[in-house]
Amino acid sequence: MRRKVGLAQTGDRRENVRKSMDLVRDDLTLRLADQVLLKPNFLSSTNQLASTHADAIRGVIDFLLSTDTPPKEILITEGANEAFSGEAFQNFAYSGLANDYDVPIHLIDLHQETAWQEETIYLADWETYQVRMPKLVLDCPCTISVAVAKTHDVDVVTLALKNMIMGTLHQDDRVKMHGYLTHGDRQRPREAQILNMNLTRISHHLSPHIGVIDGTVGLQGNGPGGTNSVDLDIAVASADVFAADAVVTKAMGFNPWDIGLFQYATEIGLGIADLERIQVIGTHSLEEVTIPFEPHQWIDQQYQWQEPKARDYLQLQALSLIHI
């Protein structure tokens, strides 16, 4: 069965997001629960282009409250790059969201969490390391990643899956996902090989139940930060985060099959990133909305993600599946 992805292009950010979710309403409502956790992306507390806009969150909430069984509680959780996520909540006007709706909305700084679950990853030299995942996210019955369409300095693009994983792991552990203990130790292309595998492994635990990407205004070039914008003017949504990410990757002018994370995940069965197995639903075709993004300057090294030991490392036959 082909995975469904809603694709909307309306000229308005909030409506883009709401409409993209409405296009796959039946798939998404099966994933909803009384408590829903929304995970925006705050790369920086001052760079709105690189961070999820409050109107994208409004679009998600608009959809949630239009369903037959709307949530009774919404958690908006983030572990921003800064030590205190509350600054981004304030700067990006999230603080007023609770006043806009009748449902209880709570802003949660994951840096303040104390309950964590550990999982093993590997460093560049194949030493093991235990990263910490927040129990709050793991235990939530419905998680929705609300990401921005951006290029990345290691993994070509950063979208809904990577937002959910890298923005919720304990802040001290995130650089280890690249295979190194400090940012100063990172080496290309080795970190692309390790990061793609580690993301695949942790996605077994932290894949969101629903993936939403706001591409109304995307970020190109040397992302995931900066100010090099693209008016892509789309949003997508899916109950399969890999399918949602694959569609936006293509809309940005890249081939999903050139990215290790998507190949690994599809092979394991964690999700579908093969465009031949995805049905895009909307008034515009994927080809019609595609605007090639300027890639990161290290794109050639990013494509050198192949690692001969990957299949043994990922234990392809042993992994049980989640969220499918």
DSSP string, 197-221: HHHHHHHHHH--SEEEEEEEEEE-S
User: Is 305 a residue whose pLDDT tops 80?
Assistant: yes
Instruction: Enter the DSSP assignment of 223.
Output: -
pTM: 0.96
Mean pLDDT of 275-293: 97
Instruction: Enter the DSSP assignment of 175.
Output: G
User: Is 182 a residue whose pLDDT tops 50?
Assistant: yes
Mean pLDDT of 83-111: 93
Confidence band of 318 (pLDDT split at 50, 70, 90): very low
Please report the pLDDT score of residue 10 as a whole number.
Answer: 97
Please report the pLDDT score of residue 269 as a whole number.
Answer: 86
Q: How much is the mean pLDDT over the chain?
A: 94
Please report the pLDDT score of residue 96 as a whole number.
Answer: 93
User: CA torsion 133→238→12→286, rounded to 10°?
Assistant: 120
Distance (Å, whole) CA 3 – CA 57: 24
User: Is 84 a residue whose pLDDT tops 80?
Assistant: no
Residues 273-283: tens digit of each pLDDT: 999 999 999 99
User: Is 9 a residue whose pLDDT tops 60?
Assistant: yes
Please report the pLDDT score of residue 261 as a whole number.
Answer: 95
